Structure 1
């Protein structure tokens, strides 16, 4: 893959279940967590999916004037943080917000953001992070925008400013 491609499981041009408002969803390919009960185990294999041109994805996002934002799901977008940092930066330039789902906790990302390639740049372009592995024994179908009670919906800019986890008020 060249610099402007990213390996993805797919794209969902319009969704209302993957964050607030109408969202474009980008499904990362590759996940180390392999959570039992995961709703998208086809995204686990790092060699699965296919390469997508990142600038073409941005053009698709631009063509929909009613989008509120873009959501990165997967797989785990943190596994391709450098690529997703580029996408997130370009999406932010469009005035859209960025949500990201990850099996890593916010604390783990903070502790490792300078040792894992792309993590700092990616985190700094995320507005909302839904963190934590999916835990089947904590599954709750009544939760908004998350699958299990251990997962948190984090306001990333506020958390970075205060140096502590600030949950998004829905």
Structure 2
């Protein structure tokens, strides 16, 4: 997996101070994508999990990690994304994990494969759905278009229904 970028600190990619990992590669190619360059799987540099974890460990202000892209939950990236989340949770057990994906939660659940299921169990908040340029709204918090949802993954799975995060 390639990494399109990494922010050591951000307050605009989820609640609280968080690190942000941008993975490379995306099959969706949404018109108007704000990170179009990251759609290329070869863009950026090879992801070095240990280097990123070391940077996270050195920063005591962080409350979580956000994983974005590209597309972190496509079949090409999801195994390394899951491994990364699990390693982060070993060193920072109380870290809150947000993930941005062009897939809907329903599409991810339909996969019904071990890696996707385990990844979902390790994500706290999922911002799901493709970016739709016609539904772009710059006043929205933590999402780009009105069709996207900010989901409490654990509640969604426990209650077997869509539960959006109240902001």
Specify the TM-score bucket, using the shorter chain as the normaliser. over 0.9
Partner of 1:39: 34
Shift of 1:120: 1.6
C-alpha distance after superposition, 1:38-92 (max 9, x if no partner): 1000000112221021122111111100101000011000021111111111222
Partner of 1:166: 163
Partner of 2:25: 30
4+ residue runs of structure 1 moved beyond 6 angstroms? Answer: none
Q: Distance in 1 between matches of 2:112 and 2:25?
A: 19
Partner of 2:109: 110
Q: Distance in 1 between matches of 2:157 and 2:54?
A: 30
Conserved in 2, the CA contact under 8 Å of 1:7 and 1:49?
Answer: yes
> May I ask how many residue pairs the two structures share in their alignment?
163
Q: Is 1:66 the counterpart of 2:57 in the alignment?
A: no
Q: Distance in 2 between matches of 1:50 and 1:56?
A: 13
SS in 2 for 1:77: coil
Q: Which of the residues 2, 11, 17 maps onto 1:16?
A: 11
Q: Which of the residues 2, 5, 27 maps onto 1:7?
A: 2
Partner of 2:143: 146
Q: Distance in 1 between matches of 2:145 and 2:112?
A: 25
Q: Structure 2 regions of 5+ residues with no counterpart?
A: none
Q: Is 1:82 the counterpart of 2:83 in the alignment?
A: no
Shift of 1:37: 0.5
Q: Distance in 1 between matches of 2:161 and 2:138?
A: 28
Partner of 1:3: none
C-alpha distance after superposition, 1:98-131 (max 9, x if no partner): 00000000000000131xx721221111000000
TM-score (norm 1): 0.92
Partner of 2:96: 97
